[in-house]
Structure 1
Amino acid sequence: MAGTGGPLSRSGLRGRESELEELEALIASVAGTGSGGLALIQGEPGIGKTTLLAEAVSKAVAAGFSAGVGKADELHHIVPLSSLAASVLHGDRPLLSGDAFADLARNHDQRIWLVERLAEAIETRAGSVPVLIGLDDVQWADPLSRFALQQLPARLRSSPVLWLLTGRREPAGPAEEIVAAATGHLPTVTFSLGPLSGAAIAQLAGDTLGAAAGERVRGLLEGAGGNPFLAVEMLAGLRADEASDDLVPPGLVVGVRGRLRSLRPGTLRFLQMGAVLGRRFEFHAAAALCGQPAATLIPVLEEAVRAGLLDDDGDHLVFRHDLLRQAVYADIPPSARKALHREAARGLVAAGRQPIDAVPHILRGALPGDEEAVALLRQAADAVLAVTPGLAADLTTRALELVPSARPLRFAVGEQAILCLTRAGRNREALATGDRLLADRPPLEAFGRLQAALGGTLWNLDLASELRRRAEAALAMEGTAPEIEARLAGLRALAMSREHDLVAARAAGETALRAAGAVGDREAHVLALAGLGEIAQNAGENALALERFAALSALDSAFLPEEIVAHLHMDDFESGERLLLRATDAGATRQAMLLWAQGQHDLGRGRLDDADADFETMERLEDEVQVCVQQVNGRVIRSRLALLRGDPAAAREHLAAARERLAVKPNRGNTAAVRFLEAVHAEADGDIGRAVDRIRQVQRQGPFMRWRLLRDWVDCAIRTALRGADHELAGDLAAQAVAHAERNPAVPTATGIAAQALGLVKNDPELLEHSVRLLGASPRPLARAAAHADLGQALLAAGRRRRAVDALTRARDAFAESGAHAMAAQVRGPFEDAGASGRGAATGQRPVRGWGALTPSEEKIARLVAQGHTNRSAADLLVVSPHTVNTHLTSVFRKLSVNSRVQLANLVMALPDD
C-alpha cells in the first residue's frame, strides 16, 4: 500500500493455503493432460478472491502458462466483450493483438461467429503453450463476455486452457451459469471462501506490525469479522500511527469508511467524483465533474494515492479495492448521485465516446421525460443489437419507460423496442409491448408502423392468421407511410404462404414486390421476396423458389441458407456446396440455419453420420442464442437417421424430444412432421394400422404440407399404405409425387421418385426399372438405393432372380456406404432368399467404444486433429462448419475415452499402419 510501508506480505493468502494447493493441482493437471479446466473462486467483497487469483496466476506463469487476466467493472459492464477483452488483450503474451481484436469487433455479425473466432485464437495459442484466462469479478461481466464464457470452456475442453474466475455468491448468477455450462465437459472446481480463522488474522497482524499482536490489536481485529481486506485496512491505520501510543482512530473499527474521514474535504470530493465514474476512471473526467481545472487537483490526487485509496497506472486512476469505491459512493446523497451520473453521461458524449459508454450512467441517472437519455439509449441499442440483442432489448424497454405516455416519441421508441425484443427471441414480451402501445390509440401512421414491427413477432410465434388479420387491418387505414404500406403488404403475403390458396398468396406477393420496388424500401423488398420464396416452395415449384431465394440472398446475405436449400431441391448440390464454402469463409450470419442447410446437404449426399452431427450442432446453436426454429424438424430427421442406421433407442429418444418441442411450437408443419415420424415408428413396431392413420393425418395438414414433407420419403409412405391395404391412400400419395414431378421436370429426383411411386402402387417392375434409370441422374444415393431395393423386390416376386440379385446388391451396397446399416440389413434378407452370396459391403454395426466405433468423418477429424489441426483448419479441409467439427470431436473423445488433443495424438500414433 502506497504511503503505508508497501504491500502486506502474503496478506490475502493467510488461511488460504489449502485452496492454493488445489489450484496448483488443477494447473498441473491442465499442463500435464493437455485438456481444459475451470475454477471459480467465490466469496464476499474483501474476502481474498483477487489475491488468491493473482497467486494462482503467478504459479501458472511459473509453470509455463501464457496468461491473460482481466477484471470486470460494475459501471462498465455494458460494452460488448469489454470484460473478456481485458483477459485476451493483456498479459505476458496477449492472446490477441489490439488490431486483431478490433478487426473481430468490426467484422462480427453475431455472437456465435465472434465466439468461434475467439476460440480459434485461443486454440491456436494453446497448441504451443498452456493458456490461462482469468476474469476477476465475473458477476459484473458484460452480456457478450458472459455468453462467450458459457461457450468457450466446453468448446476448448480438448486444449490446455485453464479458466480462473472470481465472483460474489449470487444464486443463478453469471458465475453459476458459466460453471453449469462447463460441468460435464471439463474438470470444474468451486472454492467458497469464508472468513479467516482467528489464527490467520493474527498472522496478518504479525505480517503487518512485525511482532505478535497485542490484546488491544486482537480486540480491534474482531471488528473485521474474518474479512482480510477490512483487517488489512485496520492494520494499515495502526502501522501508520505505530509511533504513537494514542488509541486507534475509532472510525477504523467499523471498516473502511472511517478511513475516508481523515482526508481533506477536497480529496474526498474528488474521490466521490471518481466513484461515480467507476472503479477505473480518467483524471480529467473526475476533474470535470468536480468543476475544476485538472492542474488544481494534483495535490488531492497525491493525497488519495498516498493514503492507499487509488493507484495510478499512467492512463487511469483505479480504486485499490471495490469496497473502497463502494464506501465512497455510498456517502454521496442519492439525489446527488443521479445528477452526477447524468453529468458523467453528458461528459462522455461530449468527449466523443460512444453512446454505449454512457449507458451505465444513464441507467443510474435518467429521469422520466429525459429525451436526451432516451436518444442515447436508442443509439446504444442499435450499436449492440447484432451481438447482444438481449441487451439491446433491455436498453430500448428502459428507454420506453422514460418516455411519458402522452408524448408521440413513445410510439417510435416502442417500435424499436418491439424489433429488439423480437430479435432477442422475447416474442411474447414484444407482442405484449406492442399491444399496450396500440391500446393507447396511436396516430394512424404510428399504428401502421407498430403493426409492421409486430410482423416478425407474430411470424415467429406461428400466428400466421393473426399476422394476416393485423396487416390487412393496417392496410385498410389511410395515413400510413408508403414504405410501411409496402412492408405490411409483404407481411400479408408471407402470412398467406401458410394458407391453402397459394394462387391468391402468389398474387399478393407479386403486388407486395411491386410496391417495394416503387418505394425503394429494402425491408419491404426483403419481406416480399421471403413471402414469394415461401409460396413457391410450398407450391412445390422448386425453380421459382430458387429464383426468389437467390434474389433474397443477394439482397440480404442472412438468407443464404434458404438459397442453399433451394439449390438442393433442384438437385444442384455443386452450387449448394460452393455457397456453403463461401458462407464458412465469409462468417455468414444465422449460423444455426446455415447448419440446417449443411445438414440437408449431407443428408442428400447420403452422409448420414455427418448429417446427424450437423442437426445436433444446429440444435445446440439454436439453444445458445435462444431462437429455436428448426428443432422439431431436426429431431424428426435425426430419429429417421437413427432408424436407418439401426439405433432404435436413439430413434425413440429423438421422437420424444420432437414431441416435447412440438408442444412449444405446434404449427401445422411441425405437427405434420411429428405425425409422419410417429407413422415410421409405428410401422417399425409392427402397428401398421396406427402408421396408416398417422399418414392420413399428415395428408389433412394441407396440400403443400403433403409434398413438402414427403418429397423425399413418399416411397416410404406408399409402402406403409400398401402394407395396411389402403390402396386409396397409396394412390393419392403417388398422384402427389407425379404432380410434383410435373412441376419440376428438370429435377431427376422428382421425376424418378414419381416413377417409383407409380411402380409401387401398380406393382409394375417396368415402371420401377424406369425409376432406377431416372434416379441414376440424381445426386441422392439413398433415393437411388431405395429405388433399387423396390426394383429388386418386384423382380424377385416375378421370379427374375438374376436381375433381382443385381438390383438388391446395388441397394445393399449403397445403403451400407451411406451408413444406413439397418436398411442394408433389410435388403440382405431377400438378397439371401434369392440364393445369392452375402459377401459385399459390410452391414454390421460399429462397436460402441474404440477406434472401430468412429464414423468415417470422425476418423478423418481424429487424424487431422492428431496432426495438429485446429477445428477451423480441419473444417476448411473437409468443407464443413467448425461447429460440426467440434460435435464430431466430442463424439471422438467419448468413443476413445480421451480428454485432450495430446492424448488423441498419442493414440493415433500408436495405431498400426493400414
Structure 2
Amino acid sequence: MAGSGGSLSRSGLRGREAELEELQTLIASVARTGSGALTLIRGEPGIGKSTLLAEAAARAGAAGFSVGLGKADELHHIVPLSSLAACILHGDQPLLSGDAFADLARNHDQRIWLVERLAEAIEARAGSVPVLIALDDVQWADPLSRFALKQLPTRLRTSPVLWMLTGRQEPAGPAEEVVAAATGELPAVTVPLGPLSGAAIGQLADDTLGAAVDERVRDLLDGAGGNPFLAVEMLAGLRTAGASGEPVHPGLVVGVRGRLGSLQPSTLRFLQMGAVLGRRFGFPEAAALCGQPPTTLIAALEEAVRAGLLDDDGDHLVFRHDLLRQAVYVDIPPSARKALHREAAKHLVSAGHQPIDTVPHILKGALPGDEEAVTLLRRAADDVLPVTPGLAADLMTRALELVPPARPLNFVVGEQAIVCLTRAGRNREALSTGDRLLAFRPPLEAFSRLQAALGGTLWNMDLVDELRRRAETALAVGGAAPEVGARLAALRALALSRGHDLVAAREAGENTLRDAIAIGDREAHVLALFGLGEIALNAGENAIALERFTALSAVDSAFLPEEIVAYQHLDDFESSERLLQAAGNAGSPRQAMLLWAQAQHHLGLGRLDDAEADFVTMERLEEDVQVPVQQLNSRVIRSQIALLRGDREAARQHLTAALERLVIKPNPGNTAAVRFLEAVLAEDEGDIGLAIDKIRQVQEKGPFMRWRLLRTWVDSAIRVALRGADQGLAEDLAAQAQAHAERNPAVPTATGIAAQALGLVNKDLAMLERSVALLKASPRPLVRAAASADLGQALLAAGRKGEAAAALTHAHATFAESGAHAAATRVQRDLGGAEAAGRRSATRQRPVQGWDALTASEKKIARLVAEGHTNRSAADLLVVSPHTVNTHLTSAFRKLSVNSRVQLANLVMALRDD
C-alpha cells in the first residue's frame, strides 16, 4: 500500500508473510498441476487485501502467468461485465482486445453465450501459459460479472487458471456465492486477513517515520486496531503535523479531516464532487459538478495529488483507497449528496454516457415524480435486459416507484416492468405488479396492454385457463390498439392449445396469424405461430407442427430448438443435425432449450450416454439462469434411461427430483409425465396394479398429452396393460397409436409403432412382422429393438425358434450397442429359451473407474483434449455443444481420477504406448 510520501512499498505486507506464502503455494500448484483453483482474500476495509492481491499478482507474473488484474467499483457495479472487463482487457497481454470484447458484447446478448465465449478465450490462453485472473473488491462486481464468476472457475477447472478475489466480510455476499459455486468442483481457499500484530504496526511506523518512533506515537497507533490502512493514514497525518505544528487526533476520519483542513476550499470542493462520482472519476465530470471549467481546477487537482488523496492514471482520477473516498463523502450533508447525485446523472447524460452509467446516481438521487430519471431507468433496463434480466427488473421496479400512481405514465412503466420481471423468471412478482396496476382502473387501452404483457407471465406459470379468461375479457371490452388486440387474440389461441377443442384452437390461431401479418406486428406474429405450432403438436400433426415452427424460427431465431425437435418428430434426424450444427456455430439465445433439442436428438438415435450428458448440462444451465423450463421432463427421461441401463436406484432418485419439481409446476402435462414415469417404475418393480392405475391417470389428463407423451412409449404402456389383463386399456392405447399413425403416414416410427401396438393387443404375429418391416426405415434404434424383441417373443411362443433367435439376437445387439443393458439382459433371457446360446454375447456393464468406465463420447473427447483441442474445437468436430463437452470431460476426469488436461494427456499417451 502506497502512502502519501516516504518509503511505504512494503508497508501493506508487514505481518502478512504467512498469507503471502499460502498464495505463493497456490500459484505454484496451479502452474505445476495444470488444473484450476480459486482463492478469496477476505477482510475488513483497509486490512490490506488490495496490497496482498497486487503482490500475489506480481509474483504470478514473475512465475510466467498471464495476469489480468482488475478492481470492481462501488458506483459502477451495474454496467454489465464491467468488473471482469477490467481483468480481461488490461495487462501486458490482454485476454481479449478491446474491439473483440466490444464485438462480443454488441453482437450476442445472452448470459450463457457470453460466458462460454469468455471461457474459450481464457482456455485458449491457458493452453500455452497459466493464467491468473484477479479481481479486487468483488463485493461490488456487477451482476453479469458475478454470474460469470460463478460459472467460469468450474467450467475451466481442467485448465491452469487461478482465480484470486478479494472481498469484505459478508456472510451471504457475492464473494461467498462465488466460493460456494466452486466448492467441491476445484480447490477453493479462503484467506482471512485479521488485524496486524503490534510488532507489524511498529514496523509500519519505522517505515514511515524512521527508527526514532517514540512511545507517544506507538500509543497513538493502538487506535488503528491493527488495521494497516488506518495506521498508515495516522502516520501520514503525524508527518504532516510535524511539518505544520498542528495536532492530529487518532482515528481515520479525524485524521483525514485534519489533512483536508489544510487544503484550499476549492480543492476540498473538488474532492467532494469526485467522491460523489465514485472512487474512479473523470476530471471533466468533477469540474462540471463544481460548476467550473476544468482549467480553473488544475491547481486543486495538483494539491489533491500532492496530499496523497488522489492518483492520476492519465485517463481518470482515483481515490487512493475506498476509505479515503468514503471519509470525504460522509462529510457532505445527506441532502446535498442526493442533489449532487441527481446532478451527476444529468452531466453524464449531457456528456454522451450510456443510460446505464447514470443509474447508480439516479438510484441515490431521484425523487418521486422525476420523469427524466424514470426515462433513463427505462432506457437502461432495455439495454441490460438481454444479459441481466434480473437487473432490468430491479431498475423497472425502481422506476415504477418513482411514478405517482395516478399518472398515465404509471401504466406505461408498469407494462415494461411486467415484461422485465417475467424475463427474469420473477413471474409471481410480475403478476402481482400487473394486478396492482389493474386495480387503479386504467383506461381501456392501458388495460389491454397490461393484460397482454401478463400473457407471458401466465403462460410461464401454467395458468392457461386464467390466460384465456383475461385475454377474452380484454378483447371483449375493446379499446385496444390493433397490435395489442392481435397479441391478445394470439394469447387466447395459445391458451386454447391446452384445451379439448383443438379444432377451435386452430381456427383461432389461423385467424390471429392473418391479422398479425396484416397489421405487421412482430410480437403478435410470433405468438400466433408459436400457438399454432403447439396446437399441431398437441393434435399429433407433426408435419403441420414443423411447418409452423419453421416459419416461427425464420421470424425469431430464438425458436430454432422447436424447429429442430419438430424435424425429429418426423424422423428427419439429418435436418435435425444440420440445424444443431448451424446453431452451435452461430450461438443460440436459448442455450438450454438448444441442449434440450440436442438431447432429444441423441435419445432418438439411441445414444443414451450423450443424451444423458445433454440433459444434465441443460438442467445445470437452467439452474444457472434460474428459469426452469424442462427440468421436470428431463428428470423423467433420465429416469427412463436409468431403467434401460438397469440402475433402479438412479431411476428412483430422478423420480423424487421430478416429484419435487411437480410441486412447483403442477400443470397437466407435467402431472401426466410424472404419472407415466411412476407407472414404468411400478411395472419394473412388479406392481402391475399400480402401474395400470398410473397409466389410466395419464389417459385422463387431456387428449393432447396422448400425442406428446406416448408418441414412442405407447408399446411399454400396452405391455403393462396386457400384463394386468386390462384388455380395454390396451385397446385404447393401440387405437391411440393408430390415430397417431393416420395423422403422420409418412413417419416410419409412427406407422411401425401402430402396427406393433395392434400386434401386441391382438397377438397378431403377422402384424408384429409388419411392424419390424416398417420400422427398418425408422432412425430410432431403441424403437426398432423393442419391436424386434416383441416379434421374437411371439415367434418363440409360436414354436418358430430359429426365426425367434434371429429377431431376439438383433434386439439384443441393438439394445447393448445403445447402452440399454437392462433391456439387453431381458432379451438375453428369451434368447436362452430360443436355444441360441451359441449366438449370444454377454451383456457387460461398464466399470465405474478407469479408462473402460468412460463412455464412447467421453473417450472421444478425452483423446481430442489430449491432442490439444479446446472445448470449442472438440465440440465443433463432434457436432455437440461446448457445454456438453464440458459435462463429458468432467465425468471423464472423475472416472480417471485426474485433475488437469496435462494429466489426461499423459494418461492417454500411456494407453497408446501400451
Q: TM-score range by the shorter chain?
A: over 0.9
CA contact (8 A) 2:755 2:770 kept: yes
- Specify the alignment match of 1:460 in structure 2: 460
Q: Deviations over 1:692-744 (max 9, x none)?
A: 11111111111111221011010011011100111110000000000000000
Deviations 1:869-900 (A, max 9, x none): 11000000000000000111110011001111
Give the alignment of 1:36-47 within 5 angstroms.
36-47=36-47
2:107 corresponding residue in structure 1 = 107
Distance 1:837 1:127 in 2: 52
Q: Check conservation: 1:251, 1:258, Cα contact below 8 A.
A: no
Asked whether the equivalents of residues 251 and 257 of structure 1 are also in contact (C-alpha less than 8 Å), the reply is no
Contact 2:497 2:535 in 1 (8 A): yes
Report the alpha carbon displacement of residue 9 of structure 1 after superposing the two structures with TM: 3.3
1:529–1:552 CA contact under 8 A, matched in 2: yes
Query: Contact (CA 8 Å) 1:220, 1:253: kept in 2 or not?
Result: no
**423-432 or 339-348, larger mean C-alpha shift:** 339-348
Whether 2:285 is the aligned partner of 1:302: answer: no
**In 2, Cα distance between equivalents of 1:2 and 1:32:** 33
Deviation (angstroms), 1:261: 2.0
Partner of 1:735: 735
For residue 707 of structure 2, what is the aligned residue in structure 1? 707
CA distance in 1 between counterparts of 2:465 and 2:830 reads 50
Measured against aligned partners, the alpha-carbon deviations of 1:4-57 in whole angstroms (never above 9, x if no partner) come to 434503111111111111111111111111000101011111010001101111
Map residues 405-420 of structure 1 onto 2, 5 A cutoff. Answer: 405-420=405-420
Deviations 1:37-78 (A, max 9, x none): 101011111010001101111111111110001100000111
Q: 1:236 and 1:370 mapped to 2: Cα distance?
A: 44
Per the TM alignment, residue 254 of structure 1 is displaced from its structure 2 partner at its CA by: 4.0
8 Å CA contact retained: 1:223, 1:253? no
Q: Give the structure 2 partner of residue 780 of structure 1.
A: 780
TM-score by length of 1: 0.99
Contact 1:816 1:841 in 2 (8 A): no
Aligned-residue offset at 1:806: 0.5
**Residue 177 (structure 2) pairs with residue 177 (structure 1):** yes
CA shift at 1:646, angstroms?
1.6
Structure 2 SS opposite 1:845:
coil
**What is the aligned partner in structure 2 of residue 325 from structure 1?**
325
Q: Distance in 1 between matches of 2:321 and 2:770?
A: 80
Q: For 1:674-704, what per-residue CA distance to the aligned partner results, in whole angstroms no more than 9, with x for missing partners?
A: 1010111111111111111111111111111
Other-structure match for 1:638: 638
Residues 510 and 528 in structure 2, CA contact (< 8 A), matched pair in contact too = yes
Determine the C-alpha separation between the residues in 1 that align with 2:250 and 2:830: 96
Whether 1:62 aligns to 2:62 is: yes
Give yes or no for the alignment of 1:287 onto 2:281. Answer: no
Shift in CA distance, 529/223, structure 1 to aligned 2, threshold 3 Å: same
Structure 1 position 582, deviation (Å): 0.8
- Percent identity between matched residues is 80
CA distance in 1, matches of 2:226, 2:321: 17
8 A contact 2:224–2:251 mirrored in 1 = no
Q: Which residue number in structure 2 is paired with residue 850 of structure 1?
A: 850
> What is the deviation of 1:258?
3.2
Task: Name the residue aligned to 1:197.
Answer: 197
1:113–1:587 contact (8 Å) kept in structure 2: yes
Is residue 310–residue 317 contact of structure 1 (8 Å, CA) maintained in 2? yes
Counterparts in 2 of 1:839 and 1:869: CA distance versus 1, 3 Å: farther
* Residues 520 and 75 (structure 1), Cα distance of their counterparts in 2 relative to 1, 3 Å cut: same
In 2, Cα distance between equivalents of 1:841 and 1:257: 86
| Code of the aligned partner of 1:788 | S
Secondary structure in 1 matching 2:329: helix
1:476 aligns to what SS in structure 2?
helix
Query: CA 1:267–1:656 in structure 2 vs 1: closer, same or farther (change >3 Å)?
Result: same
- Call closer, same or farther: CA 1:32–1:560 in 2, change over 3 Å: same
Q: How does 1:149-298 map to 2 (within 5 A)?
A: 149-242=149-242, 247-248=247-248, 254-298=254-298
Call closer, same or farther: CA 1:370–1:809 in 2, change over 3 Å.
same
- Cα distance in 1 between the residues matched to 2:899 and 2:432: 47
- Larger deviation, residues 208-217 vs 652-661: 208-217
- Asked if the contact 2:633–2:670 (Cα under 8 Å) also holds between the matched residues in 1, the reply is yes
Q: Give the equivalent residue in structure 2 for 1:766.
A: 766
- Partners of 2:261 and 2:219 in 1: how far apart? 22
Aligned pairs for 1:577-616 within 5 A? 577-616=577-616
Conservation of the 8 A alpha-carbon contact between 1:377 and 1:395: yes
| Residues 46, 229 of structure 1: 8 Å contact kept | yes
2:121 maps to what in 1? Answer: 121
Deviation of residue 195 (structure 1)?
A: 1.2
Distance 1:135 1:6 in 2: 28
1:371 aligned partner: 371
Count of aligned pairs between the two proteins: 914
Larger displacement relative to structure 2 (252-261 or 227-236): 252-261
- CA-CA distance at 1:519 after TM superposition: 1.1
CA contact (8 A) 1:27 1:162 kept: yes
Tell me if structure 1 keeps the 8 A contact 2:369–2:402. Answer: yes
Distance between the aligned counterparts of 1:745 and 1:515, measured in 2? 32
Shift of 1:504: 1.0
- How far apart are residue 416 of structure 1 and its match? 0.1
Quote the offset at 1:203 in angstroms.
1.1
**CA-to-aligned-CA distance 1:129-166 (integer Å, 9 cap, x gap):** 00000100000000000000000000000000000000
RMSD: 1.3
Task: Name the structure 1 match of 2:802.
Answer: 802
Match of 1:540 in 2: 540
Compared CA separation, residues 542 and 349, structure 1 to 2 (3 A)? same
TM-score w.r.t. structure 2 length?
0.99
Quick one: distance in 2 between partners of 1:145 and 1:184?
21
Residues 427-506 of structure 1: matches in 2 within 5 Å? 427-506=427-506
Partner SS, residue 434 of structure 2:
helix
Q: Distance in 2 between matches of 1:253 and 1:101?
A: 40
Q: CA deviation at 1:208?
A: 1.3
Give the Cα–Cα distance (whole angstroms) in 1 for the partners of residues 257 and 609 of structure 2: 64
Distance 2:250 2:262 in 1: 11
* In 2: Cα distance, 1:243 partner to 1:342 partner: 40
Q: How does 1:548-587 map to 2 (within 5 A)?
A: 548-587=548-587
Could you tell me how far apart the structure 2 residues matched to 1:769 and 1:584 are?
A: 40
Q: Please state whether the residue corresponding to 1:404 is helix, strand or coil.
A: coil
Cα distance change, pair 841–328 in 1 and its aligned pair in 2 (3 A): farther
1:672 maps onto 2:676 in alignment: no
User: For 1:913 and 1:9, how far apart are their aligned partners in 2?
Assistant: 53
| Aligned counterparts of 2:586 and 2:542: Cα–Cα separation in 1 | 27
Instruction: Report the CA distance shift for 1:890/1:284 in structure 2 as closer, same or farther (over 3 A).
Output: same
Q: Is the alpha carbon distance of 1:193 and 1:187 closer, same or farther for their aligned partners in structure 2, counting shifts above 3 Å?
A: same
